[in-house]
Structure 1
Amino acid sequence: MSKAVEAVSPVAAHQKPVIEKKPMSWSNIALGAAIQTFEVSTLGQPFEVVKTHMAANRADSIATSLKKTYARGGIAGFYQGLIPWAWIEASTKGGVLLFTSSEIDYRARVAGFSSSWSGLFGGVGGGVAQAYTTMGFCTFMKTVEVTRHKSADASVSTWRIAYDVFQREGIRGLNRGVSAVALRQMTNWGSRFGISRVTESVFRGKDTGRKLSNMERLASSAIGGALACWNQPLEVIRVEMQSQTKAADRPKNLNLFSTAGYIYQKSGFMGFYRGVTPRIGLSVYLTVCMVFGGDSVKAYFNNKSQKSAAPANA
């Protein structure tokens, strides 16, 4: 038997299947950045603003939050923090997540972990990487935009606020609440990837090698995204730590534990879940954009490249 035939022979039953590492595609990273920027520029930022308002003003219902947000600036009020902070975050966090999670996922599978556990580990690592690169600073500035309307510096530009914070506290000040962001992102993406993989396995059933349809992939991602919102307490803590809302009884130097105690004292246990409904809406919308939008755009460019290549091969 020739070496060429041996190379494609079926793997023996006792041998482990070869785990291939997915190649890094810069075009996919650019596509992810473009889709996430589109997502945040349409319905994503309104969901984000309402979610943040409810987490910072825990006595407000969804209806009250919508009315107050509209009163702050009409339709534009729902896009506070979009330019430049949400755009910076959207155009960078996808690439960071893809690169880090793919590498950890591969290493975990090589080490013998299942696809579900590998996805969870990849999501955790990717979420932490997001937080400590761009998201800590961007979420802080977005929260400043949404929560400073009652402050004396409401007329000051956020660029000026960022400069003043940097002058007083350095990089640490601009990343206030980044520990809560890291915990939120690691549990969020760990849960999303892990639950999505489990849901995909349920859809496949006994036929583990079956390729899922677009609807099944969308449903898996949507379920993973929605159920990942169990960590809403971390989001509320993050918003409170970064909030510019002033209160006489609010501790000055907040950390994770003192912030959690303050929220519980003021709003009780349910205060930790304020804003979870718009966050679920945000997660589902992001999934629709990334799964359906991403697949559609990829298919369009693939078909276009195949058509352009056809005459050359004729």
Structure 2
Amino acid sequence: MRKFLSVIFGLVLLAAAGALLWLALGPTSTKSVTTGGVLTTQQEIAAQNIPLDSGIAPDLGVITDEGFSSTNAMGAAPQMEAAAMNDAAALDAGEQAAAPETAVSGSVTTDVLLDDASNVEVAPLSITPAQSLAAPDGQGGAGATSLTYEQRVVELEWPASLPVGKSGSVRVTLKALEDGSLQPIAEIADNEVLATPILIADRYDTHNAVVTASLSAPDFTVEPLSNADQAMERGGEVAWRWTVEASETGTSVIVINLTLTWVPFAEGASPISAAIWGQALQIESDYVLGLLTIKQASYGGTALAVLGLLAEIPLLGKLLEAIWHALFGPRRKQDRRRQRRR
């Protein structure tokens, strides 16, 4: 009976060790979204008082490499189906309750704070990479009065929650929006915000494009895994990755910024630089089981595993005995029968 209880206790310890080591060393939960340069909440859209069934798309904010503008000002209507337009124009109780948090921290292009509950719908604009648009007011670029734009989106991934002492990965990818890769928005959920693609003026024939990324996280230890400056080609994508480690518990905000610099081929010409994307993210940090750091949980899980294995010694002895009997038992019987015959 004592051996049986020892085996049961050992199994419990091994299960607890596995759970603790999984919490300490297992994968970190991540949040992934595809977003744009400016986020517009449903509350902001409803405030525009667009008549229902009018077929009028809302006026959404737009960021270009020449400054801030809007879809109406640039003549680039967001692609939305009629049902989505009506849903955006009429704010119900659920959508009102699901209003996202806002935070103005650092050089962000939107004040909407993204967290583990955030959902973003990117509205493609009714332009193509070959179409020319009027430059934003007061922004002439390199002496241009009209510019050709390419639409770009940002793929963003970050740890929604991060135990104290554990590292997580933050990834940002700036990529061109290919024709047909995003469909017109069909509907808008209660907790969704609308995003517009970043509009990048096509200066690739006369300039080199360099995008610089920065990450600000006062409550984390940050290690960049890629160069801050990345060369960008027409239609290509650039990516950055960082590891962040939480140093204290609580709700923390990190801010990521992308700055585009056009370096002219011509000697003596001045470069053109502009912030094209800035986003604040929220991360929750806590101890493992509310008590232990990652190191403490790792040591504790290892100790429980050793104790569990020691408690399983009676069972291991039985298993070894059974294996020995299965392998060598029949041979011993044959040897004894031969000896008796002699």
- Superposition TM-score, scaled by structure 2 size: 0.28
More strand by share: 2
Larger radius of gyration between Structure 1 and Structure 2: 2
